[in-house]
Chains A and B, each alone.
Chain A
Amino acid sequence: MTARSRQARIKMGKKADLYRIGGVDLPWDPELDLDKPKPTPLYPAFQIPKPKPLTEEEKSQVAHFRQLRESIKNGPLYTVLGDNVRVGKPETSAAAAFNPFEGMPKYSQRYTKKKRMIPKLDTRPYVLNFFPKELWSTIDPTATETNGVISTDTTGKSLQIAGYEKDAAMSEDEVDVKEERDPDDEDLPEGEEVDDEFDDEEDGGDYNAEQYFDDGGDDAGDDYDAGGDEGGGGYFE
């Protein structure tokens, strides 16, 4: 019997039966107003400090920043790694990565922005001297240790600069779309572009849900092979 209940019983006197059940004192006070001493709120009301709206100058700064970021993202250096890049780890199969809601091949997918897994380095000239020698072959396959000063073979390569790169990117995309149908794409060691599910045509596979899918386009009747083992064949959201 706790001190409180005893006290309560004494206080209430005759109404003592309220405080006991079967002659045993209740260990709590049944008339206790639980709302009286308010518990401290878990999340007390808090006035969130609101920052001042951006000034015109800041707005233009941010606009410049976002524009630059956008052009970097549209440029050849921005990369998105898939899940399948880890060396020494079994790849997630394309079936496991398949998104049943968004992953169906659609005609409009040809317009989606390409996601690069690996930066496209051969679009511009480089100053090889500023790179360690072990990277020279990566940057410019034609470079040797002797012609190291400046990449001499700059024919057809020019810097893509903002303001113009829109045209460049567009034309590049067109090329990519054409290349998508090239059969020799499969020779590449690792997917050049993540987004090449259109190439994922391969025979085999016992059951194929997409057998019945007909998009009416070039790929009509082509099966999507869920078990395809192409490196970059993962669906990417």
Chain B
Amino acid sequence: MSRHAYELCHLLVDDTYGELTSRIFEVLLFHGRLSLPALQHQTHLSYRLVKHGLAVLIQQHLILWYTSSHDHQTLYEANTANAYSLVRSGKYIKVAAAQVGEFAGKVIANLLLLGHARVGDLVQAYKAGQSRSTHDRLAANGGTPSTPLSNSSRHEEGRIEEQNATVEPIYGMLCDLLRLELVSPVHISHFRSDADNRIEAEKVVPKPEVYKARNEREQNAQREAGIKRKLKEWRYYTHGEENEAEHLKKGKKRLHQDLETGRLEKRQRLYSPLSQDVIGTTEEVYQPMRGEAHYLDNDLILRVNHAKFAVLIRNDHLVDLADRTISTSTARVYAQVLHALEPQVQDCRVEPANSSETDAEADPSSSPQISTDELVRAIKDSSELANTLGKSDDGRLDMTQFDHPKKRRKKEVINEDQGTIDIEASFDEEEDLSGSDEEDNVSDVSSDPNEVNGDADFDPNPLTSLPHDPHRDTIRSHLLVLTIHPFSFLHHLPKTSILPERWMIDFPLLTKNVIHHTLLETITSRHGLPAARLTRILFDKGRTDEKVLCSTSLLAQKTMRSYLLPLHKAGMIGLQEVPRDNSRNPQRTNFLWFFDPERCRVKVLEETYKTMARYLKRAKMEGEKIKGTVEKASRSDVVGKEEEFLGPQELEALNAWREMDKRIWGEVSRLDDLVACLRDF
């Protein structure tokens, strides 16, 4: 991270949690890991203040700490990732509200407010709040009467029912959020940096000598795998953790039981109008669940899962992109695909399981997939999708495009054989094509004779049944459109003898394309369309001489230079000098232009951080300008009665400031979209 990123993080912490915390955070950013005495020395604050500030920062997951077992010294370190996430809190709430419901948004907001919290305390707080306030929280969730629940006004029986009912939604909601991974259990490793986690994992995992292997190298490799597994366990807090967290054992087991068994029921429960419970019609059905699988262990500690939110934001971004580049209806199909794949994607960036699979031939079975049938079931109504794609285009979908180049050559031969294509019989044609595609595919992997035979037996049946299902065909054609798009939104896995036709998303490739697209968009908006064209040529051709570039881009040399130089000045493209002889005379030097997407990405990211930091400073400045009025408006006797207490000028200034603040933060959130795209996806 860079200076501007640090500045941004510091400003965000300052804006959210105030001066004490931000001063400590700034020192940690500036000096790296520090112990408490060193921190006290650097901040020039009293020990008492520093300790209080540290407590707040740890509670909010803004700093990491680690107590070494050697000298028992605790070192603190700034957690820049989480500090940056402060800017996304609004998005998190919005996403949760859109995905699960209004109430989920409120729960997420509260978790963001609290940092992490025990389930028991959270439920208690909700209970207390319920009995204290007249909030119509439940109405948003399921239609429970939102009358004030003052204990005296209700008769005894109803009160007990009501008590149960008030606890119900929060438990259900937490279960739901856990299932969707929007919140995750907290583990002590979440407070340590990666390096410290590694040290701890090395302590836990047995020594290399324990492993049974032929030689030392294999032993080390096995241990390495063990450490990786352990780190992953800690990270996602999955099984095998029982020894570590004895006190959470019960809760985890219950939780997993809950996740596996009572999924459907829980959902029903959650969205069933709870007023019916009170009346007693469906009470019996739901009763057995109560107290068993449905309840979470009160000692489970939860926090907001930033990684999953990044996945959801990425999904939204991809759908938006599909909407812009293809069409709205296709984007809707794509949204369904992404939604269906959501449970399988935990993190935006997944490093390959082992290093040997890093090349492009990594087996596709490991990445998230979805079969056509599942998808067809997921999309209830395709009537709106039906006529959105031109029919003639359907038949001519070039299936060769998403084949291997070797196969493509074969396919061309086949297409020539088929000759003219009947436009009316588009669906049949497409099936034929895909059929031949499958045959092709199989003949390519002829090393497996079983598959060839199986496929030959298997193929005709689905073909005969399929064309009668327009619903399925519509969806399928939309999926194919997504597949042939240059961004490669989807990847098509043809039907094999064992597995049905499936679709998967090659996220690394897609991400690369999306980032590239975003960079080009940025360049277009800053330097104009010809500049973007030049960049694309450079990307396509690699390092290019000016003359070649001139002839390829069909621009006059003078015009071209007027675009290249600003690009170079802005750091988007680079210039390499290659002398032809030892004299290094400029006359005898080749100047090669090049475009490095990675370098450009870092550059744009850097500038975005800087802009965001300046926006925050501006927001602070604007607040400072009318400080007196803002302070007056926040007086306890004025809040809510601004019109009464404030003069017209003050009111006007206050409203103007509020509008300004909203606009500034809106812009910051737009910039954050860019950062998310370039950094997190």
Contacts and interface: CB of A to CB of B under 8 A. Distances in A.
A54 interface: yes
Contacts of A65: 89-91, 93, 665, 669
Interface in A65-85: 65-69, 71-73, 75, 77-81, 85
Nearest to B65: A132
Given A87-B44, A89-B44, A138 B51 contact: yes
B55 A121 contact: yes
Interface in A17-63: 51, 54, 57-63
A180 B123 CA distance: 33
Contacts of B45: 85-87
Contacts of A66: 90, 661-662, 665
Contacts of B17: 72, 77-79
B31 interface: no
Given A51-B667, A164-B129, A77 B56 contact: yes
A6 interface: no
A77 B54 CA distance: 11
A158 B94 contact: no
Interface string B181-222: 000001010010000000000000000000000000000000
B106 interface: yes
A131 to B, nearest CB: 6
Nearest to B663: A54
Given A54-B663, A72-B17, A189-B48, A159 B117 contact: yes
In the complex, which range does the number of interface residues on chain B fall in? 35 or more
B113 A71 contact: yes
Interface in A127-152: 127, 129-135, 138-139, 149-150
By CB atoms of chain B within 10 A, which of A69, A71, A150, A167 has the most? A69
Given A154-B121, A163-B129, A237-B627, A64 B109 contact: yes
Nearest to A132: B74
B588 interface: no
B164 interface: no
Contacts of A75: 113
A234 to B, nearest CB: 14
Contacts of B23: 81
A180 B636 CA distance: 16
Contacts of A105: none
B94 A64 contact: yes
A111 interface: yes
B118 A79 contact: no
In the complex, which range does the number of interface residues on chain A fall in? 35 or more
B116 interface: yes
A2 interface: no
Interface string A86-103: 111100000000000010
A237 B133 CA distance: 34
B669 A61 contact: yes
B110 A161 contact: yes
Contact of A61 (B90, B116, B124): B90
Contacts of A57: 94
B18 interface: yes
A127 B667 contact: no
Interface stretch (A7-15, A112-120, A199-207, A212-220): A112-120
B67 A69 contact: no
A158 B44 contact: no
A161 B114 contact: yes
Interface of A: 51, 54, 57-69, 71-73, 75, 77-81, 85-89, 102, 108, 111-113, 116-119, 121, 124-127, 129-135, 138-139, 149-150, 154, 158-164, 167, 170, 173, 189-190, 237
